[in-house]
Amino acid sequence: MKKRLASLALALTLLSMPALAVQTGSMDNFVRSRSYTGQFSDLASDSVFYQNVAALYEYGLSEGKADGTYGLSDSLTVGQIVIFAGRIRSIYRTGDPEAGPRAYGAAGASAAEPYLQYLKSEGVVGEELDGALTSVATRAQVAHVLAKVLPQEALPDIHTDLVTQAYASRKYISDVTEYTPYYADILSLYRKGICVGVDAAGSFLPQASITRGAAAAMLTRMVVPALRLTPQWSLEDAHDVSGITLADLVTPGAYIAAPTTEAEMDQAVRYMLSQGSHTLSLHYSDSITSTQARWVMTMALSALRSYCEQSYNSVSCSYTISGDVTLTFTAAAAGSRTEEYRAVTLERAIAVHDALWSSGALHSGMTQTQIARVYYDWICENCTYDFSATDDSLSHIPYQLFTSGTAVCDGYTGAYNLLLKLEGISCSGLGNGSHIWTVAQLDGKTVHIDTTWGDVGTTSDQHYFAMTPEQSYQYHPW
């Protein structure tokens, strides 16, 4: 009887050991449980990715290809990055790279499908990758998959200020804009030290493919904090905006000769603005009537409303019945002096920017939200609402705010958006039938900012700064 009790005690002890060794949701679960001894025939010991690929094997994140190679120079597919990400998530959560995805295996499913379903169940991705598993992955898609694989406490932002300032300077990561797919996820990888770009300017090449070898480097930085990188960027002149033009502040669009949707017209308008032009020449294959020409004008003005910092708010149109349409944009109250007023507006905005940096009101340790708040307060403290403004008043463009300290909502919003864009902060104007305000991307979040309603005399009402879309909608539906 005594011997039987001893055996039972031993059994209980052995059963309890795994629970003590593996933690639920812990970076300690990443353990090199096996040794790499040349399992991949194409991985030479002098390869720049040797240590990374070997580590993937040792952590149980890669088994290589069926032919005994790793596929070092092969392009990574969407399915493959999903498999890698699923295994990382599963190890973090359970200590086993296959425990999480295994629950989603099904007869006839592709190799990557269980991993995709597992990542969906964990809230890492949504349905955006459905049907794309066999496609070659873009670098933007890779960033999207990796950005949320580990929680913030396991993969913290370690370069927030540096990346914010570098990106705002437009000297670094300049190939990533608010129009880049998954741009917030891309910037997140820079902040976390997973990526520093492919060149001295920190370029990401979001639409390019990535090799399995290069992806291995990013993946090992996910699981080994000591491997995370620090960008070697000089920010000594990061806040110098001298020589910048209004055209520089527009993300270029593609020229579309016959836009028929809001998205196409936005592309065409951005093309025009980024060229420094105020004329847009279009050509429709069918004949144009006066009604159709007016529809094109209305759609173009609607697109321009998003770029109210550019000061255009009036359009004239000439067209031929053969389908040629020429749109010419001005500021309603400025007329032939529009370009002169735009130049003065930019000059005054740069002066405000420089003064705030020189005074220390803005400094390099600030987040985008803090920078945006300084400009919000400046607008509210230095402008008065123009209750006497008519439809053709200068108060509808930022010129009047910077030169006379008066404006209405589109003047407030245009001036504020111009200041934000000088800082490299992505923003646009959003309006309903009677009002317009700012939508901005601050530190990875979409927020609404209403400088017009925030102006309460010589102070600012902070209720209208950095509102969530839901809060903003309660004030002014759109």
Residues 6+ away with beta carbon under 8 Å from 196: 190, 202, 229, 230, 231, 232
Q: In this predicted structure, what is the pLDDT of residue 10? A: 34
Same domain, 292 and 388: no
Q: What is the pLDDT of residues 128-173, one digit of tens each?
A: 999 999 999 999 999 999 999 999 999 999 998 889 888 888 889 9
pTM of the model: 0.74
In tens, the pLDDT along 4-24 reads 434 433 333 333 334 445 678
pLDDT of residue 3: 43
Residue scoring higher pLDDT (352 or 162) = 352
Residue finishing a domain among 293, 310, 330: 330
Does some domain include residue 394? yes
Classify residue 442 by burial, with Cβ atoms within 10 Å: 0-12, 13-18, 19+. Answer: buried
Q: Could you tell me which of 222, 232, 237, 171 has the C-alpha nearest to residue 196?
A: 232
89 belongs to a structural domain: yes
Domain boundary among 195, 227, 259: 227
Residues 200 and 69 in one domain: yes
Instruction: Check residue 170 and give its pLDDT.
Output: 81
Helix (H, G, I), strand (E, B) or coil at 337: helix
Q: Which of 7-16, 216-225, 331-340 has the lowest mean pLDDT?
A: 7-16
Residues 6+ apart with CB under 8 A from 219: 52, 56, 61, 84, 88, 146
- Residue 21 has a pLDDT of 54
Provide the percentage of residues in the chain whose pLDDT is more than 70: 95
Are residues 160 and 59 located together in one domain of the fold?
yes
Question: 3 in a domain, yes or no?
Answer: no
Please say whether the beta carbons of 338 and 331 come within 8 A.
yes
Whether 193 maps to a domain, the answer reads: yes
User: Do 149 and 198 sit in the same domain of this protein?
Assistant: yes
Domain end, chosen from 330, 348, 376, is at 330
> Does 28 reside within a domain?
no
How far apart CA 82 and CA 113 sit, in angstroms, is: 9
**pLDDT band at 451, cuts 50/70/90?**
very high
| DSSP E strands, 379-426 | 384-385, 406-407
Nearest C-alpha neighbor of 221 from the set 244, 250, 189, 173: 189
354-363, 364-373, 386-395, 432-441: the lowest-pLDDT one: 364-373
For the beta sheet containing 314-319, the strands, ordered from the edge strand earlier in sequence to the opposite edge, are 279-283, 324-330, 314-319
- Phi–psi pair at 150, nearest 5 degrees: -110, 145
Q: Give the model's pLDDT for residue 22.
A: 63
Q: How far is CA 362 from the centre of its chain?
A: 23
Distance CA 429, CA 449 (A): 10
Report the CATH number that the domain containing residue 396 is assigned in CATH. Answer: 3.10.620
One domain for residues 177 and 77: yes
**Cα separation of 275 and 339, whole Å?**
14
412 within some domain: yes
Q: How far is CA 136 from CA 68, 79, 88, 456, in A?
A: 21, 9, 21, 53
The span from the CA of 126 to the CA of 396, in Å, is: 42
Residue 222 within a domain: yes
CATH number, domain with residue 314: 3.30.1370
State mean pLDDT over 70-77: 96
pLDDT given at position 218: 97
Could you read off the pLDDT of 88-101 as tens digits, one per residue? 999 999 999 999 99
Q: Please write the tens of the pLDDT for every residue from 180-192.
A: 999 999 999 999 9
The rounded distance, in Å, linking the Cα atoms of 58 and 173 is 33
**What's the Cα-to-Cα distance from 273 to each of 153, 154, 297, rounded to whole Å?**
42, 43, 16
What integer pLDDT is reported at residue 4 of this predicted model?
A: 44
Mean pLDDT of 266-270: 97
> In degrees rounded to 5, what are phi and psi of residue 114?
-60, -35
> Which H or E run contains 449?
strand 445-449
Residue 404 pLDDT > 80: yes
The SS3 call for residue 297 is helix
Predicted pLDDT at 87 = 97
Mean pLDDT, to the nearest integer, of 375-380?
A: 98
pLDDT digits (tens, 9 = 90+) for 226-236: 999 999 998 87
- In the chain, the amino acid numbered 282 is L
* pLDDT range class, residue 279, cuts 50, 70, 90: very high
Q: How far apart are CA 132 and CA 307, in angstroms?
A: 34
* 434, 370 Cβ separation under 8 angstroms: no
Kindly state whether residues 251 and 309 are assigned to the same domain: yes
pLDDT at 365: 79
Burial class (CB in 10 A: 0-12, 13-18, 19+), 97: buried
273, 161: one domain: no
Check pLDDT > 60 for residue 311.
Answer: yes
Where does 122-177 have alpha helices with state H?
139-147, 160-168
Question: 445 pLDDT exceeds 80?
Answer: yes
Average pLDDT value over all residues in the chain:
93
Indicate whether 139 belongs to any domain.
yes
Element (H, E) at 459: strand 459-460
Check if the beta carbon of residue 235 is closer than 8 Å to that of residue 162. yes
User: 209: closest CA among 263, 149, 279, 139?
Assistant: 139
User: How many alpha carbons lie under 13 Å from residue 91 in its C-beta half-sphere?
Assistant: 22
Tell me: do 45 and 184 sit in the same domain. yes
Q: What angle do CA 234, 166, 346 make, to 5 degrees?
A: 110
Nearest residue to 345 via CA among 272, 425, 406, 401: 401
Please report the pLDDT score of residue 425 as a whole number. Answer: 92
324 & 410 share domain: no
Report the alpha-carbon distance of residue 317 to residue 313 in Å, rounded. 14
**Per-residue pLDDT tens digits for 385-400:** 999 999 999 999 999 9
Helix (H) or strand (E) holding 280: strand 279-283
Torsion on CA atoms 86, 89, 91, 97, rounded to nearest 10: -10
Quote the CA–CA distance of 24 and 92 in Å, as a whole number. Answer: 7
Helix (H, G, I), strand (E, B) or coil at 417: helix
Q: What pLDDT score does 15 carry? A: 38
Reading the block at residue 197, the tokens are 């770009």
pLDDT at 237: 77
Shared domain for 197 and 67, answered yes or no, is: yes
- Co-location of 215 and 252 in the same domain: no
Enclosing domain of residue 142 = 33-227
pLDDT at position 8:
36
288 and 352 together in one domain: no
Q: What is the pLDDT of residues 33-64, one digit of tens each?
A: 999 999 999 999 999 999 999 999 999 999 99
Rg over alpha carbons for the chain, rounded to the nearest Å, is 28
Count of domains observed in the chain: 3
**Residue 269 reports pLDDT greater than 60:** yes
